[in-house]
Amino acid sequence: MGVYHITYTRGLSEVCLYLDGGCNFSCHGCITDYHPEDCHIEEPKRTKNKILNIEEVIAYLKPLSFEKAIFLGKEPTEDRYFLPLAKILKEKFSTHNIFLANGWEYIEDKALDEVCVSIKAVTPEIFRGFTGKDTPGRVLENFKRYKGNPDIVLRAESIFIPDFIDIDEIEKIAQFIVSIDSNIPYRIDGYIPTDTYFGMKDRFRRPTEEEMKAAKMIAEKYLKSVSILHYGVNVKYKVERIY
């Protein structure tokens, strides 16, 4: 457990801290299994660095000027260093702390400012086939709890996989989100097949740009702020490897 990778985006005044505390899901094609480093840096490595303790993380961050800290990697809520590190960063650097989560656990703490919940699916069969878990309702209820927390800014994202988590499922997810608040920002990420990394044959393919735009249009029927991220999108700000 702990941080194995740190990146810095000067133009956004943010650092990304990649945690290695494991995950309670077993999602097909998990990007951290095949691409553990930030895919936006030049020549990312496909192996993990040595785990840093909290003091070492702080030493790497001290020379930087940043306002936001993003916790990601595996599942932050599974890493015992996540909350202690978030509290220290809040105290020492007055950071706006953001964490990316799968929603299986609900975390409430004054050190946390924003959460992006990855809603994998709302249909039980699809959710089970992708994550290995049986109850998407647990994620959906925790999503509602985050929305009900006045101290937390809430966002959502999903992975678009043609012929699996397809346009129909994206529409169902958007319908769930709008039942809570149409203003919740929603991002749809294009699936990256495992054969992109090691030549491993993947039963799913990458969505086309046209399919991504179609998914965006469907979600926009319900939500006011929808964005897409897919292969080929230009990186707007330079991302630097710190560790």
Residue 197 banded pLDDT, cuts 50, 70, 90 = low
Please determine, for residue 201, whether its predicted confidence score (pLDDT) is greater than 70: yes
With vertex at residue 87, the alpha carbon angle to CA 83 and CA 90, rounded to the nearest 5 degrees, is 135
**In a 3-state reduction of DSSP, which class is residue 110?**
coil
Residue 97 sits in a domain of what CATH number? 3.20.20.70
pLDDT at site 42: 80
pLDDT tens digits for range 22-45: 999 999 989 888 788 988 888 777
pLDDT tens digits for range 89-120: 999 999 999 999 999 999 999 999 999 999 99
Lowest-pLDDT choice from 27-31, 56-60, 161-165? 27-31
- Cβ neighbors of 76 (< 8 A, separation 6 or more) are 19, 21, 82, 99, 100, 101
Please determine, for residue 232, whether its predicted confidence score (pLDDT) is greater than 70: no
In terms of residue numbers, what domain contains 198? 3-241
pLDDT at site 97: 98
Residue 199 banded pLDDT, cuts 50, 70, 90 = low
Amino acid, single-letter form, for residue 125 = E
E strands present in 89-199? 96-101, 114-118, 153-160, 186-190
What's the number of domains the chain is made of? 1
Q: Which long-range contacts (CB under 8 A, 24 or more apart) does 192-195 make?
A: 192/29, 192/31, 192/35, 192/231, 193/29, 194/29, 194/34
pLDDT at site 210: 96
- Cβ neighbors of 228 (< 8 A, separation 6 or more) are 160, 187, 188, 189, 190, 212, 213, 215, 216
Average pLDDT over residues 59-86: 97
Average pLDDT, the chain: 94
DSSP 8-state code for residue 43: S
- Cβ neighbors of 57 (< 8 A, separation 6 or more) are 3, 6, 17, 85
**In a 3-state reduction of DSSP, which class is residue 64?**
coil
